[in-house]
Amino acid sequence: MKSDSEIKDDVLDELVWQPNIDETQIGVIVKSGVVTLSGVVDSYSKKLAAEKAVKSVSGVRAVAEDIEVKYGNSYKKTDGEIARAVADALKWNSSVPENEIKVKVENGWVYLSGEVKWDYQKTAAKRSVQDLLGVHGVSNTISIKQAVKPFEIKEKIKKAFKRMADVDAKNITVDVEGHTVKLSGKVHSLSEKNEARKTAYFAPGVYAVENELEVI
């Protein structure tokens, strides 16, 4: 098992490795495998990139993200301008069902709500807007309501895990109750944990995933 100092060194190296991240803007603290990120960046996408990079590091059990987004005066946008840009971005994305997403913008923070049939549509909506100029953050509360009923969800997810090179299927237990999937067991990295959750969401009939996988 890695020590906190070893994890911190690997996290810093990973931040340096990423071309779209200025590692000098980000502070890193590691305690018991939990990484806390702090600092100030000039776009929401850089904040997300830093978090994603850290989650890929072996030994990281969780990430507490306190990075702040601050735009320069020349890049400031009003909430109205951001809302119009968000509406256009959602309209142009073919993965997002038209007229199903509601948008609210307050102090640069984008709130997405509404109802879609698939998790990939919910994810696509967030990705469409998170890189827009002026956006400080995105709250994605879009709900998933599938027309199909759950059918052999457990077996479909287990088979999907076995097909994936990045997920160790033999260490993951899948339990299904109604439309909710519960994942438990042990994985080797936070990125593997996230991949397992993402894969479970792709199964027909899944509305929610309780990801209780432990990173060792």
Residue 146: phi and psi, rounded to 5, are -90, 145
Tokens 């906190």 -> residue:
4
Per-residue pLDDT of 3-20, as tens digits, reads 999 999 999 999 999 888
pLDDT > 90: percent of the chain: 48
Amino acid at 123: T
Structural contact between residues 35 and 76, judged by C-beta atoms closer than 8 angstroms: no
- In whole angstroms, how far apart are CA 176 and each of 71, 113, 149, 154? 44, 26, 13, 6
pLDDT above 90 (res 91): yes
Structural contact between residues 134 and 77, judged by C-beta atoms closer than 8 angstroms: yes
| pLDDT band at 150; cut points 50, 70, 90 | low
Position 104 scores a pLDDT of 95
pLDDT above 80 (res 204): no
pLDDT above 70 (res 74): no
Q: Is the dihedral of CA 134, 139, 140, 143 positive or negative?
A: negative
Position 149 scores a pLDDT of 60
pLDDT above 70 (res 148): no
Position 75 scores a pLDDT of 66
Per-residue pLDDT of 93-111, as tens digits, reads 999 998 899 999 999 999 9
Rounded average pLDDT over 35-44: 91
pLDDT above 90 (res 126): yes
Amino acid at 176: V
pLDDT above 60 (res 190): yes
Round to whole Å and give the CA distance between 3 and 22: 25
**How is the chain classified by DSSP, letter by letter?**
---HHHHHHHHHHHHHH-TT--GGGEEEEEETTEEEEEEEES-HHHHHHHHHHHHTSTT--EEEEEEEE---GGG---HHHHHHHHHHHHHH-TTSPTT-EEEEEETTEEEEEEEES-HHHHHHHHHHHTTSTT--EEEE--EE--SSPP-SHHHHHHHHHHH-TTS-GGGEEEEEETTEEEEEEEES-HHHHHHHHHHHHTSTT--EEEE-PEE-
Structural domains in the chain plus CATH codes: 4-69 (3.30.1340.30), 75-144 (3.30.1340.30), 153-215 (3.30.300.130)
Which of 67-81, 123-137, 193-207 is the most confident on average? 123-137
Which neighbouring-strand residues pair with 53?
none
Position 21 scores a pLDDT of 87
pTM: 0.59
| pLDDT band at 203; cut points 50, 70, 90 | confident
pLDDT above 70 (res 146): no
Structural contact between residues 96 and 124, judged by C-beta atoms closer than 8 angstroms: yes
Round to whole Å and give the CA distance between 105 and 93: 19
Rounded average pLDDT over 143-161: 76
